[in-house]
Amino acid sequence: MAQQKTILRALAGETLPTPPIWMMRQAGRYLPEYRATRAQAGDFLKLCYNSELAAEVTLQPIRRYGFDASILFADILLLPQALGADLWFVTGEGPRLSTINAQADFDRLKPADAVHEKLAPIYETVKILRRELPQETTLIGFAGAPWTVATYMIAGRGTPDQGPAHELKDENPALFQQVIDLLVDGTIEYLSQQIEAGAEVIKLFDSWAGSLKGADFDRYALEPTKRIIAALKSRYPETPIIAFPRGAGERYIGFAEATGADCVAFDDSVTAEWAAANIQADSCVQGNLASSHMVTGGDALVTETQRIVKALSAGPHIFNLGHGITPDADPENVQLMIDTVRASG
């Protein structure tokens, strides 16, 4: 069955008549069934660490829509929490973490191989999903890429420009590199255990890669991704890996070859036509409908979906959004997108 899964075929380089489809943040607040389950869990972190409920919200969009892949429900900040950072969520505002501003802050963190005790419920969620997902549905595991996770660990929250992380890397590059190295090693451990538990594909989300320029992009976005992929491929050579250096622009070009990724996901700041000419020649691509179409719907959604499918039809392509679906999206628009993609073949 694994060889027949459309996501795995695309990741192996096959051009399919109809692209497989899944959606970033497909389990989430736009679905009423998700909101009900989250209320049952009590709060977001309790939901992440309750294996049965986390599996339930992961399965909800598969039951409703029949996506070709399911992505583990978790959060990129569970890893720094497992490394010893304090983590909590403020309603309406998002995550908060203890900060890293000095060597003493870093020294309080745990070594990379200490993450598994805290993250054991996440691995259990993967095991449940592997048992309960339909046979034709691919299970994707994931983690945040080191640069993106580091921006939260240094600032203690999300920031518009990742300014605190840029400041630390410029003023104390040795300490900043220690943070990156720990996250590289911790991510390898975390993703290895997801694969052991049953994840069939891995995705690395570098949501803030676009704020890195020039040599910094190479040093803190490309190189950590390359190190993680090399380690995972040495352990699990058959597991495909999707890299998403969001906002990379021209630096999407050659990213797959430089890092060893099997697929590059790209955001909607570049066009599908540009991606076909500049990325798809080297690898499978994933993308890139603007998530705003999930709110507005209508003819524009249909036209743009058809355009993307056509533009990327000459090579391996996984249809997805250019970023995660937003809480104000209309579930009916998701169905319209899926129907449009599947009518294209």
Which positions are catalytic? 25, 29, 38, 75, 152
Check: CB of residue 132 under 8 Å from CB of residue 60.
Answer: no
User: Beta-carbon neighbour count of residue 306 at 10 Å?
Assistant: 14
The 284-289 sheet, strands edge to edge? 69-71, 138-144, 201-206, 241-245, 263-265, 284-289, 317-321
What is the Cα–Cα distance from 316 to 19, expressed in whole angstroms? 8
Of all helices (H) and strands (E), which one includes residue 69? strand 69-71
Phi, psi of 93 (to 5 degrees): -125, -25
Taking the C-alpha atoms of residue 290 and residue 320, their distance in angstroms, rounded to an integer, is 9
Q: What are phi and psi of 198, to 5 degrees?
A: 135, 0
